[in-house]
Structure 1
Amino acid sequence: MTEKKETILTIALQLFAEQGYENTPTSQIARQAGVSEGLIFRHFESKEGLFKALLAEGQTRLKGYVDAIVNEPDYKKRIALVIELGPLLMRRERSFWQLQFTLKFKSALYAKLKNEQAEFVALFQAGVEAFAGLGYAEPEQETYLLMLLLEGLTGQMLAQGDSYDSAPVVAFIKSKYNV
């Protein structure tokens, strides 16, 4: 990937996350990236193409995190990794998750995130397998509950920014699952 293309993606992600997809014109992205608007269209064809490229890049990174969890053979460690995933992603991929979280409530754009759902299905299945392997009576429900807790934690982290210390909550959730 060229440096300019990478810069465009970085600036677009930052602006989409801060201002929203609809409120961010490609002219602003071009201006802040120090490129012509035409270059954005040459690389990505359209604003939607730019958006899809951001999602694809995020999905690729997410796959790496999920693969590490899915391939963890120790069920307790796997559940611990699931619990730690939200705070880890917020530290490393904050803008991408901020964008995804805000899009969740805008159905037309959120539909475009469906490509990523394969990773969440794999993560969910890894949780079900781990809870079943540990003898939980309802592993699907337990996994669903854990995912809801983690979505709430991620929401808090987004809402409160860097000042929010997720460590006590993560430690508490881990203690509930004895991991």
Structure 2
Amino acid sequence: MPPRTPEQFEEIRESRKQQIMDTALELFASQGYANCSIAQLAKHSGISKGLMYNYFESKEALLVAIIEDGMSEILDYFDPDHDGALTTEELTGFIRKVYSSIRENQQFWILYISIVLQPRVKEFLEGEPFSRVMDQYGPMLMAYFTEMGFEDPALEMLTFSALIEGFGVLMVYAYPRVELPDELLDSYEERVIGMFTTRPN
């Protein structure tokens, strides 16, 4: 058997890294971030504690990687061409993709939201991880709502964020205990799109 190439080694490393992140996501959500140790995470990932540090230098670094992985997916939806400007077509696509992701990947979002709402995690993430997102996300929304002619762009941004995040919380905690028909969810999505892509009179 020929020796593995550097590219193959990198693929193996990235695959194992993702496996560790998936395991940590489940443990942080079920047991609480503060109650999980590196030793526990390594055991459930099927590797040694020493090897764990080859992938993540600390539990905090692992947490940041998980949160940033989720955020990067959302931001890729938000500004797909990475030009720093938001159009009505991009905002429409963003809303559709976020709502679709929440509806189709409920298990991930249940875990993700349960983690970021934990007090110790929230306190830790109020620094650089969230500030980097808001530094990019906030000005683009403000510029968009200003250009669209909304009277109070800051109020529109707050309302928009609440409707996006609120939908995630609704789907995580109400569904499937409360059956929400697809037609109702589709109508809600269209209403949100209409609210923010139609210029005010």
User: Shared fold (TM-score greater than 0.5)?
Assistant: yes
Alignment partner of 1:133 is 2:152: no
- Structure 1 or 2, whichever has the larger Rg, is 2
Size of the aligned set, in residue pairs, is 178
Structure 1 residue runs of 5 or longer lacking an equivalent are none
Q: Deviations over 1:129-178 (max 9, x none)?
A: 22222211111111111111211111112213566554332122123345
Match of 2:80 in 1: 68
Which structure shows the higher helix fraction? 1
RMSD across aligned positions (CA) = 3.2
* SS of corresponding position for 1:68: coil
Distance 1:27 1:58 in 2: 24
Distance 1:123 1:82 in 2: 12
Alignment partner of 1:99 is 2:118: no
Alignment CA distance shift 1:53-1:127 (3 Å): closer
Match of 1:170 in 2: 189
Structure-to-structure mapping, 1:156-167, within 5 angstroms = 156-161=170-175, 165=182, 166-167=185-186
Structure 2 residue runs of 5 or longer lacking an equivalent are 1-9
State the TM-score, normalizing by the size of structure 2. Answer: 0.69
More moved, 123-132 vs 154-163: 154-163
Report sequence identity in percent: 21
Alignment CA distance shift 1:83-1:63 (3 Å): closer
State the TM-score, normalizing by the size of structure 1. Answer: 0.75
Match of 1:147 in 2: 161
- Asked whether the equivalents of residues 27 and 36 of structure 2 are also in contact (C-alpha less than 8 Å), the reply is yes
Match of 2:132 in 1: 118
**Pairwise CA distance, 1:96:** 6.1
